[in-house]
């Protein structure tokens, strides 16, 4: 009898119960009721902290995934990813380093739509995080100069759009560290020559015809950006722009701001302290050209010149770039139209510099 009872109990585990319509199945013995709802939370900020942590976590996950898509083979995908990142910019400043590292190489992207979306994204990042482009200007300006001398005309034509973003959001860092290199890149972009040598002129004409010179619409945009770049580099900041008034800052002494060092890396340049000056020309050179200034810069000196202060930038402009730029701008003025008007506005900036330096 005992063995039959044990067999019957074992067979119960394998018997499928018959369910009737309208009746729920029996709940198991270890069932736990979880249908209760909490009416209140003891910690008032618990839900807020949960929400913020979840959104930050979501941003990090989405950011990593979308940044990997910036290298996608489809240009449509790359454009949509840039638009998505612009619409969902994070509030955490530490995440912007990964963003710029991934998107800056797209300055020389083959698709024009991708480059236009990148221009808008860089402006949005600079607006969201003040001073961001100053920290990463070294990598950004490297790709801009590469785009200005690129073999494809479309990439060269859109290169100055990114330069315009730097002029608007990182003016001081741009003109102090990359004034000479940017002007040299401009001469390459517009097929200009720094010397009036016949070989250099013929080489520039041959190169421009082989790779395709800038279109009329592109030249108009290049010249307008050139005017903004020259104005920012060769003239002091206007008083209308926002500056930090040190007299209103609380310090140990109310006149402490008078004895602070300048923001330039060469604050003693005016006193000629700790500054390596360019050596003067030899006597043979002076005899050949007595009109030349002894301390005038030449093309060979540009690689060692620091353009931190405005006086050095003006001197470099007058000694090296002024004559060839005026010569090429006069040729564009003769063409007339919008190109001539933009060239004339650039020439006005140079004439204003000449009148002030006299």
**pLDDT value for 18:** 76
Listed residue (141, 196, 205) closest to 170, CA to CA: 141
CB proximity list for 140: less than 8 A, separation 6 or greater? 100, 104, 107, 122, 133, 162, 166
- Residue 176 pLDDT > 70: yes
Query: What whole-number distance in Å separates Cα of residue 54 and Cα of residue 11?
Result: 50
Least-confidence region, from 9-23, 256-270, 324-338: 256-270
Quick one: average pLDDT of 286-310?
A: 70
Least-confidence region, from 133-147, 257-271, 314-328, 330-344: 257-271
The more confident residue out of 255 and 147 is: 147
**pLDDT value for 266:** 58
- Residue 50 pLDDT > 90: no
CB proximity list for 301: less than 8 A, separation 6 or greater? 278
Quick one: average pLDDT of 97-115?
A: 95
**pLDDT value for 38:** 65
Residue with tokens 């770049």, as numbered in its chain: 229
**pLDDT value for 9:** 78
**pLDDT value for 131:** 87
Listed residue (160, 85, 163) closest to 125, CA to CA: 85
- Residue 311 pLDDT > 70: yes
Query: What whole-number distance in Å separates Cα of residue 192 and Cα of residue 181?
Result: 14
Q: How far is CA 1 from CA 11, 15, 295, in A?
A: 16, 21, 121
Least-confidence region, from 34-48, 232-246, 301-315: 34-48
CA angle centred on 117, ends 112 and 122, rounded to 5°: 125
**pLDDT tens for each residue of 183-216:** 999 999 998 888 776 555 554 545 554 445 567 8
**pLDDT tens for each residue of 216-244:** 888 999 999 999 999 999 998 764 444 54
Number of neighbouring beta carbons within 10 Å of residue 67? 17
**pLDDT tens for each residue of 122-168:** 999 999 988 899 999 999 999 999 999 999 999 999 999 999 999 99
CB 321 within 8 A of CB 297: no
Q: Residue 254 — pLDDT band, cuts 50, 70, 90?
A: low
Query: What whole-number distance in Å separates Cα of residue 170 and Cα of residue 259?
Result: 26
Highest mean pLDDT among 5-19, 142-156, 235-249, 300-314: 142-156
Q: Is 45 exposed, middle or buried (0-12, 13-18, 19+ CB in 10 A)?
A: exposed
Q: Is the pTM of the predicted complex or chain greater than 0.85?
A: no
Percent of the chain surpassing pLDDT 90? 45
Q: Residue 63 — pLDDT band, cuts 50, 70, 90?
A: confident
Across the chain, what does the average pLDDT equal?
79
DSSP H helices, 37-106, are 46-68, 75-87, 96-103
**pLDDT tens for each residue of 70-91:** 999 999 999 999 999 999 898 8
CB 125 within 8 A of CB 96: yes
Quick one: average pLDDT of 283-308?
A: 65
């Amino acid at each position: 009898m005992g063995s039959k009872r044990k067999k019957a109990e074992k067979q119960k585990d394998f018997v499928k119960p018959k369910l009737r319509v309208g009746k729920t199945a029996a709940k198991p013995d270890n069932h736990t009721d979880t249908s209760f709802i909490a009416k209140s939370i003891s910690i008032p900020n618990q839900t807020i902290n949960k929400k913020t942590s979840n959104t930050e976590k979501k941003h990090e996950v989405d950011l990593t995934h979308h940044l990997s898509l910036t290298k996608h083979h489809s240009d449509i995908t790359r454009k949509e990813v840039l638009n998505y990142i612009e619409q969902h910019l994070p509030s955490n400043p530490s995440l912007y380093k990964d963003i710029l590292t991934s998107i800056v190489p797209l300055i020389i992207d083959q698709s024009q739509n991708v480059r236009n979306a990148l221009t808008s994204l860089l402006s949005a990042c600079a607006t969201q995080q003040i001073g961001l482009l100053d920290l990463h200007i070294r990598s950004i300006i490297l790709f801009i100069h590469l785009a200005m001398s690129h073999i494809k005309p479309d990439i060269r034509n859109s290169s100055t759009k990114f330069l315009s973003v730097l002029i608007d959001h990182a003016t001081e860092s741009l003109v102090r560290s990359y004034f000479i290199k940017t002007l040299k890149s401009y001469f390459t972009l517009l097929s200009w020559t720094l010397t009036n040598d016949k070989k250099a002129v013929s080489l520039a004409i041959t190169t421009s015809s082989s790779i395709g010179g800038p279109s009329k619409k592109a030249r108009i945009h290049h010249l307008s950006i050139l005017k903004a770049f020259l104005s920012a580099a060769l003239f002091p900041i206007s008083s209308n722009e926002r500056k930090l008034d040190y007299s209103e800052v609380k310090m140990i002494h109310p006149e402490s701001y008078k004895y602070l060092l300048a923001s330039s890396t060469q604050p003693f340049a005016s006193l000629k302290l700790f500054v390596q000056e360019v050596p003067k020309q030899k006597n043979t050179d002076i005899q050949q050209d007595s009109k030349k200034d002894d301390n005038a810069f030449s093309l060979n000196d540009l690689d060692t010149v620091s353009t931190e202060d405005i006086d050095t930038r003006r001197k470099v402009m007058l000694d090296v770039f002024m004559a060839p730029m005026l010569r090429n701008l006069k040729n564009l003025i003769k063409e007339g139209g919008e190109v001539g008007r933009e060239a004339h506005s650039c020439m006005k900036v140079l004439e204003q510099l000449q009148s002030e330096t006299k």
